[in-house]
Amino acid sequence: MRHATTGTRIPPLAGLLMAMLVSGCAEPGPTVEEARAFVDDAEARLLAVWIDAERAAWVQSNFITDDTTAIAARAQTVVLGATMELASAAARFDGVAVAEETRRKLLLLKTSMELAAPADPALQAELAGITTSMESTYGTGVYCPGNGEDCLDLAQMERLFAESRDTDELLDLWTGWRTISPPMRSPYARFAELANAGARDLGFTDLGELWRAGYDMPPDAFTAELERLWSQVRPLYESLHCHVRAKLADEYGSAVVPPDEPIPAHLLGNMWSQTWANIYDIVGPARSDPGYDLTRLLESNRVDPLEMVRYGERFFSSLGFDPLPATFWERSLFVQPVDRDVVCHASAWDLDFESDVRIKMCIGVNAEDFVTIHHELGHNYYQRAYQHQSPLHRTSANDGFHEGVGDTIALSITPEYLVEVGLLRRVPPADRDLGLLLRLALDKVAFLPFGLMVDQWRWKVFSGEIAPVAFNQGWWDLRIEYQGIRAPVPRSEADFDPGAKYHIPANTPYTRYFLAHILQFQFHRALCEVAGVEGPLHRCSIFGSLEAGERLNAMLEMGASRPWPDALEVVTGQREMDATAMLDYFAPLQVWLDEQNAGRSCGW
């Protein structure tokens, strides 16, 4: 979500912009002082519209009606118009020898946007209307099987998907959820057209290039960097894929799961087959029970949704961070209301860029949501840490950092930690680690290619390489290429399967999640060293380490004030993202997978 603040006076921009427009060719060019004044005024103006849009979006996500959707669209239109106006005006200072901080802010005016819009106000309004409408369509989506009377929302379908082993039921749920997205197909094509026009107005070839330009390196270099990181972890993923496919074939038969072919998407325990932990019972090693079931521990200890959030807060407190404000507990959404439609997709919000931080999620008392809460709180603590930065710097070093911080904390949810907080009575013996590692790999490692391909699809759509007539074909080509996963039934261009994933209609960039999965292990390895924890990396918990908390907070406080390699160096001592920490973490599992895959035919 876009972040905002309150309490800031808005200096008038009109005089400055008018002076820019009427300056004659004989007059001297813009000065350093004018550039600095422009940036100051731009930040103040943006803060005001950001907070208006955030409040409107909060209400729309929590009270989905035609009226709240219209209000949110109007507020988003104002943000788009102001941002595009200021980003275009910033180009006037491209040749001015301004200070590095000012230069960085001028660039951030262009690249920090997730959505660019054309200059025409009518087209801005159209684009904002499309985005809010698509998100509302997703948020209100249901599937009504059978007689059509007992409809299922996404949360209900996800629970069934995680538990069912009936292939017919799984296929029905899989195809049923994807009936919500075909109406988004034409709007999405128009969305891409308008967003690309806005990106071109800012000097980029398309919206994808604008997104890739926001990583302190040329867009093409960033694309190469992603492939470098993927090449580091792909062998581990392929080993996991090979083992999972073989075990699924044992469970369902080789006619359903043929060897040497991509895995059917409905058999992996997740609506988008992006994580596979829900099929651990099928693919897990014999006689290697992890020694505990976190969901059952939460249930047996009578932990309610609010207390789950308290566990997350106490973890950050143990690192030396201040407790969350009272308003967090008063204003967040923790459980799904029974009287209205809401967007249940978990998210973290910062409505005033100072202290009004919140989470919005429909918490279930289970292991997955326990981890998700730590992830979302990571956003909130990051937001609080950089609140003293200037407005354009009140975000993370890059968007992968924002996603990775909470996940770094979640890696410390080890058996030792669960014993320390009283959820588990004793630490299981080390010979149970294989089960723990496999379960986590089914989440973290399995996610990697999905985290990469979602934006690969969008970037190809934005560039025109994937045309509207091939939206669905392009989606499944990439899923086969990166994930080795195929649609379980024939799909056509009457379908729009990308729209069945929240981040597509919500226009939320997705590469950040791939980067976060790399960075969290890199952060974890470094913080474990700072905390002085010895032993295997997968058994390390930094809970209670003030030294680790101090190092982490030093990075969080920087926000986006410096290029991300500077922030990375504060925690890790490295200036390059490095996936070897993930390989170190899962090294014992890799040995076991190699043993299991001996004699199997891997790949697809």
Instruction: Just list the catalytic residues.
Output: 345-346, 375-376, 379, 403, 503, 513
> Residue 381 and residue 399: Cα distance in Å, rounded?
15
φ, ψ (nearest 5 deg) of residue 349: -130, 150
- Which residue in the block uniquely carries the two structure tokens 């200037």? 390
The β-bridge partners of 360 are: 333, 347
Stated length of the chain:
604
Q: Of all helices (H) and strands (E), which one includes residue 264? A: strand 263-264
Q: d(Cα 29, Cα 93) in Å, to the nearest integer?
A: 9
Question: Which stretches of 217-361 are DSSP H helices?
Answer: 219-252, 280-283, 294-300, 305-318, 326-331
142 vs 153: CA distance, rounded Å: 5
- Tell me the residue type at 412: S
- Amino acid symbol at 161: F
**Would you call 215 helix, strand, or coil by DSSP?**
coil
| Integer Cα distance of 25 and 351 in angstroms | 43
Angle between helices 511-531 and 219-252 (to 10 degrees): 90
Contacts of 106 (CB under 8 A, 6+ apart): 35, 39, 90, 93, 94, 98
Would the CA dihedral through 96, 101, 102, 105 be positive or negative? positive
- Give the helix/strand (H/E) hosting 133: helix 121-139
User: What is the C-alpha to C-alpha distance for residues 140 and 602, in angstroms, rounded to an integer?
Assistant: 40
Structural tokens at position 374 = 């730590």
